[in-house]
Structure 1
Amino acid sequence: MPFRRRLVIVSAALALAGCAALATAPPGPADAPVVQTNSLGMRFVRIPAGEFLMGSEEPAASLARDFPQLPPERFYELADEGPVHRVRITRAFWMGQHEVTVGQFRRFLERSGYVPESIADGTGGYGWRAGYDPAHSPRGDAFEGRDPRYAWNAPGFVQGEDHPVVNVSWNDAQALADWLSRTEGRRYRLPTEAEWEYACRAGTRTRYHTGDDPSSLRGAAKVFDQRTAGHWPQWKAMALPADSGFAFTAPVGSGAPNAWGLYDMHGNAWEWVADWYGEDYYARSPARDPTGPAEGTVRVRRGGSWHTWPFYARAAYRNWNAPDTRYTLVGMRLVREEEGP
């Protein structure tokens, strides 16, 4: 099953009063983000250097209070979000304003000749099918697969060219970044896990860049909502009390951006990041520009998706998959490095 979490024991909560001051302040209301567009039509926003508090050690009791619909054991599976630690991002970088879209990925394939893993190895990806019953699948997967009928351009539901591409592996994301780097002469890559959370938070210390209340995601995030719950009525209680108008993915940028001009940092598609996953990495993470463990078996993904319950779309939440995973909820967002010394 592609989505797996190991049960761990949450560590003691850290008192965070006054710690928000350590985060780099977001731009004021009059400060428009600086945006550049690349050869595939991807828009990038300049993210300033700065420091922030990474992770969360929120007590299980407060999570249970605010997410009463979830089973209590869920709140004891989050030890890898701590300890909360100060991180310094020493150089500005350019973050994709949006997740990579179907149209942008298609243009990359046409120009490069690259064949995505879901097609190259003949095993396909995962997809949605009306009538599919997870209870009758060998592993209980929420979606059907792997199956050759599903791939980056066939997730089982209709997508426009402006929707986030899904069913792409970490290796596919690396191939796109490498091709752009060679083609444009500037270095593209996946964000580090620290860069991703820093950019997502945009100066905040709340669960979401919109605040602590899950309902604050209305109008800013395409997560598991009432429209999506129409296809999964058994999970209706977990749904955001809102209707985005999209049961599956939404066009990128459909909601409001964060303070740094980035869209869909919560929801729409999980986003691969560069790091290997380390459950206890935060306890030994360097204070400056951490890049994750030197080795591992699974890569981190962040941000949640259109099928993600709001609890799992929090800025601090971490999850992971094998680099060759291609799943109908997982996409990507790229970084372009700042030029100069």
Structure 2
Amino acid sequence: MRFVRIPAGEFLMGSEESPEALAAAFPALPRERFLKLTDEGPVHRVRITKPFLMGRHEVTVGQFRRFLQASGYVPESIADGTGGYGWRKDYDPATSPRGDAFEGRLPRYSWADPGFAQTDDHPVVNITWNDAVALAEWLSKTEGRRYRLPTEAEWEYACRAGTRTRYASGDDPRSLARIANVFDADSAALWPRWQAMALPHHDGHAFTAPVGSFAPNAWGLYDMHGNAWEWVADWHGEDYYAQSPLDDPQGPPKPAGGGVKVRRGGSWHTWAFYARSSFRNWNAPDTRYTLVGMRLVRED
């Protein structure tokens, strides 16, 4: 894995955009979507007190395979026998109770088979938060250096790379064409019911792209927007930003009775609105999905 040194520094975390501004920028989305973003605020100052090393790319299929071969670890989708999610050409989302874009969970799908072709250079998907932590812990033990998932604050700091715009590439969703594999005309051809949500360009990738296929951000990180959602270390807290410490926030404690882990950055199937630098999504730690992968941090 190749890593980029991220400097210590300060930034403003979160978004203060009004529902009206977002509705104007994303007219295809229903307005109620913009009323469900309270966890993106308040905007607050965060200080990252120590430099760290972040993976230049998302963890790839080949890297994950080598981890499994060397460690003997069995991913949760296989260990629990329930599998993951995947794309099937003749699957109809209308047959799913939730209208899900993908078929699953089914044992036929896993990190090794999300239903579409991947090479060793594509980002691994269909992995759980627990799988991601297992890789980091094994690599730490093997190399004698600490590898881990980034905190949510580290992730947004690195994604923004000094910007305060919606994306590292600017405010215009169309600017993602240069830096991100998101839901565009190529993907929309397979999901015509969501054509209105697609960016108009063709990037040549209907599914995941090999890591590093698009331009990096100003700090040399690739695919911080799009390609695969990335697990981070933090539990999700709806009102955490209002009480977040200034220095190196670690997220809220685990909620009583369970909780959900944050994932960031969007994916190849994500509408531009959800690929914003400030957008927060979350799932249970044992969730595995054909859009979700990981990126590692190595402590300096």
TM-score normalized by structure 2? 0.98
Partner of residue 50, structure 1: 9
Deviation at 1:138, TM superposition (A): 3.4
Identity %: 78
Q: Distance in 2 between matches of 1:89 and 1:115?
A: 34
Q: 1:201 aligns with which of 160, 174, 189?
A: 160
Partner of residue 100, structure 1: 59
Partner of residue 305, structure 1: 267
Partner of residue 69, structure 2: 110
Residue 207 of structure 2 corresponds to residue 258 of structure 1: no
Residue 97 of structure 2 corresponds to residue 138 of structure 1: yes
Partner of residue 297, structure 2: 335
Partner of residue 78, structure 2: 119
Deviation at 1:246, TM superposition (A): 0.7
Partner of residue 235, structure 1: 194
For structure 1, the 5+ residue unaligned runs are 1-41
Q: Which amino acid aligns with 1:303?
A: G
Instruction: List aligned pairs for 1:285-304, cutoff 5 A.
Output: 285-296=244-255, 297-304=259-266
User: Secondary structure in 1 aligned to 2:179?
Assistant: coil
Instruction: List aligned pairs for 1:1-150, cutoff 5 A.
Output: 42-150=1-109
Deviation at 1:96, TM superposition (A): 0.5
Q: Which amino acid aligns with 2:174?
A: S
Residue 144 of structure 2 corresponds to residue 185 of structure 1: yes
Q: Which amino acid aligns with 1:326?
A: R
For structure 2, the 5+ residue unaligned runs are none
Q: Distance in 1 between matches of 2:95 and 2:40?
A: 33
The 4+ residue runs of structure 1 with deviation greater than 4 A are: none
Residue 230 of structure 2 corresponds to residue 271 of structure 1: yes
Deviations, residues 19-64 of structure 1 (Å, cap 9, x unaligned): xxxxxxxxxxxxxxxxxxxxxxx11100000000000010111111
Q: Distance in 2 between matches of 1:264 and 1:138?
A: 31
User: Secondary structure in 1 aligned to 2:204?
Assistant: coil
User: Secondary structure in 2 aligned to 1:156?
Assistant: coil
Number of residue pairs the alignment of both structures matches: 297
Q: Distance in 1 between matches of 2:213 and 2:205?
A: 10
Deviations, residues 130-158 of structure 1 (Å, cap 9, x unaligned): 11112112333221111000000100000
Q: Distance in 1 between matches of 2:174 and 2:183?
A: 12
- RMSD over aligned Cα atoms: 0.7
Deviation at 1:114, TM superposition (A): 0.6
User: Secondary structure in 2 aligned to 1:74?
Assistant: helix
Deviations, residues 75-134 of structure 1 (Å, cap 9, x unaligned): 111110000000000000000000000000001111111110010110000001011112
TM-score normalized by structure 1? 0.86
Larger CA deviation: 140-149 vs 323-332: 140-149
Q: Distance in 2 between matches of 1:281 and 1:178?
A: 27
